[in-house]
Structure 1
């Protein structure tokens, strides 16, 4: 169920909360919060009124019909192997009302359609951080780099803090995922600085906790597509 946060004024979430309130599926605490809000929030109160009117109209169109008591007795006997009871004088009540169950079914259908109309984004997970950094260094400290990643543009900027690299070799940057083969993000300049554009298929992997690593490769980068030289620096990305 959706929590009726007083600080939230997202019309899409308010529509869901209004529907849950009218259908009676909110907890007692959340229901009290909604009732307090109804006293001061006219727009939200209008949503609740619309839900009540729509469901009331559906209910009014249904004819009240109660199946014979023997039907429920037979179902109970089939499900629980209970002895048949004499129900000739029993009254069906609301639970035996076909109109009640029809209304409940229509209400559930209307609520589901409302959720679909709001779109899948209401259930979408939070967006990943737009900017991240990673400090890449090695155990013996020959190379130290700072990586800045801008998720909105897919741009990864490398800034060297210290480099000692043979001119006949290249530094190559890799994205490392647990249990998977490292993927090359590109070859860095001899000084270690520069800007790399992360390919779109790889951008979802650039999130908090992602591991970046730098290896020493033949001039121009790895000839095999996999790291062939020693890893001289690595670090985890974090948001900022």
Structure 2
């Protein structure tokens, strides 16, 4: 990537998964960027509200093109189309029609399926003022459903699209990693362990999904971003 590029500003909020997934793409593409961490009130007031009228992270300002964007899926598509159009490190060219459109398919599934369902599970478990067991159960069940969809596909494919890691795979990492490390979200490990095994041996419930996630988490750019955001979270209240 050209050293003449100016840093892209990424607005984030603690270790909220959506800014994390944008940071992963920036890191994977080797793009210079600076992260601005905002607390909750700052997201809802000026100057940020003029950048993102929805008052949520992430948003970016790219001085190289003069573009300001919010919504993580739109940001990822912009970054890939602007900065990965030559080498296609994380993407496929439009001439690869099948792969090109399947990438968008999986990104849309992450944005509309994994993100909202996993996020709502977190909300009703940890932040909602009342405990609503039916809501908690619904969204924990959705975590299982989405995980099952991914596992069934990955049982027959090494990656979501084609024969390499793409932005489609990477977009799922932050929420998936959150669920993997928080016992109550993964039902105290039961999300990943099949029940009814004989002889006391545990069997992975979603083996293809687990292998895929481990592969993604081992990537240097991914582990770097995850560690940086975890450290920054302590300063956000």
Confirm or deny a common fold (TM above 0.5).
no
Q: TM-score, normalised by structure 2?
A: 0.20
Comparing both chains, which one has the higher relative contact order based on Cα–Cα distances under 8 Å and sequence gaps of 6 or more?
A: 2
Structure number having the greater helix percentage:
2
